[in-house]
Amino acid sequence: MDFPTIHTNIWDAVIAIPVIMILTEFIKLFLKVPKFAVPTIALVLGLIISIFYSHRGDLATGIFMGWFYGYGAVGSYASLKSNWLAFRKEPSYPAEK
């Protein structure tokens, strides 16, 4: 068995994950999906985009990279949300005089 040849490019690094994040947010906004289903939606979007658009013609590579796209979007969203909540929270220590 040969491993698939995977070429990363600007699409992988800069466009795919933000596109999946935006599409997932639109789906959350318009379809009111439960919170536990959101990572699955991002994964499915990542697989669809990877298999049918960015790695068309090579199913193994499409599936492999689709997992990275989907879970990259989930991780990026979690990181952004955590940082935003930490930024907005008041400090827990008293102000210095």
Query: Is there a domain that residue 46 lies in?
Result: yes
9 Cβ neighbours under 8 A, 6+ residues apart: none
Please report the pLDDT score of residue 70 as a whole number. 94
Q: Is residue 13's pLDDT more than 80?
A: no
Q: Is residue 96's pLDDT more than 60?
A: no
Query: Is there a domain that residue 96 lies in?
Result: no
Query: Is there a domain that residue 43 lies in?
Result: yes
What is the domain count for the chain? 1
For the chain, give the percent of residues with pLDDT over 90.
Answer: 52
Query: Is there a domain that residue 64 lies in?
Result: yes
d(CA 11, CA 97): 50
Query: Which residues constitute the domain of residue 32?
Result: 10-87
Q: Is residue 29's pLDDT more than 70?
A: yes
Please report the pLDDT score of residue 17 as a whole number. 92
Q: Stretch 49-64: mean pLDDT, rounded?
A: 88
